[in-house]
A and B are shown apart, each in its own frame.
Chain A
Amino acid sequence: MDIIKAYIILSIALFLIGLLGVIVRKNLITVLVSTELMLNGINLALVAADKVLGRVDGQIFAFFVLTVAAAEVAVGLGLIVAIFRLKGYEASHEISQLRD
């Protein structure tokens, strides 16, 4: 088997582990960390595809994914801290309303 296929399978495993974390974690901050794991899985697939094709475009896409992940962490943590200040709780099943 080609080693690139092994890398793609590893990236699929990482993505699905991150998805499991998004589904099952109670705490909102750890849900955000699991989202980062999913993004890392995508980055691994992009860079592996890059090695097959002999180009650098996938690495540049991974660079943009990194940028968007940084922005998402900033806004997400700001939201979590604001929700905690406002309501005093931080579990995903208790935040089921958007206003009031």
Chain B
Amino acid sequence: MEWLIFFILGAWLIISALGTVLAKNPIHVMLFFLSSLLAMAGLFLSLGAELLAGLQLIIYAVAIVVFYVLAITTIPWEKIKRFEGVYKTEILTASPILLVLFLVMSYMVIKGKFAEPSGVVKDNVEAVGRTLFTSYLFPFEVASVILLVAMVGAILLARKEE
């Protein structure tokens, strides 16, 4: 059963990721990306990370995708049709190299030794919250500062010059 869910969600994820990379129209790219994010949330659920699946849906699938669509609608696409699509030479050069890289890394993963499963996290959300606000409190604050700086920077960059 676990393998069945893995194969369905994994095939969905790989197909929508390939669609994201190879689709021509930017709106189709965004739709494929949204589909891959949904598959990703399903994979997180099947791995037992419920909080992260919810955050994936809330932050990525709603906030970031809406942001991308907003930026796409800002730019007049009919003027820059020639920038759609992929570079032909680069895709012919890069895909064999990346395929070889994938095979080598998969071989290393299959042949390598993994740690034995040690302990199960029972209440996922509670455990994540407790660890986040005790051991990782300082990185949490740093992350909030990063978000603030990014917000100020985005406002400064996208502002129209007077």
Write the residues of chain A forming the contact surface with B, with a CB cutoff of 8 angstroms: 1-10, 12-14, 16-21, 23-27, 29-30, 32-34, 36-37, 40, 43-44, 47-48, 50-57, 59-60, 62-64, 66-75, 77-82, 84-85, 89-91, 93
Instruction: Count CB-based A-B contacts (< 8 Å).
Output: 217
How would you classify the secondary structure of chain A's contact residues: helix, strand, loop or mixed? helix
Query: A25 vs B90: C-alpha distance in the bound complex, in angstroms?
Result: 9
Q: Please classify how large the interface on chain B is, using the bins under 10, 10 to 19, 20 to 34, 35 or more.
A: 35 or more
* Residues A59 and B52 in contact in the complex (CB < 8 Å), given A54-B119, A77-B71, A77-B154: yes
Task: State how many angstroms separate the Cβ of A89 from the closest Cβ of chain B.
Answer: 7
- The residues of A that contact B14 with a CB separation of less than 8 Å are 10, 13-14, 17
Check: B8 CB closer than 8 A to any chain A CB: no
| Pairwise interchain contact A26-B86, C-beta atoms closer than 8 A | yes
Report which of B17, B109, B139 forms a contact with A12, defined as CB distance below 8 A.
B109
A-B contact pairs, 26 of them (CB 8 A): A5-B109, A7-B43, A13-B102, A14-B17, A18-B17, A20-B94, A23-B90, A26-B84, A27-B84, A34-B21, A40-B36, A40-B37, A53-B117, A55-B121, A57-B131, A57-B135, A59-B51, A60-B131, A63-B55, A64-B143, A70-B150, A74-B151, A74-B154, A77-B158, A82-B157, A91-B82
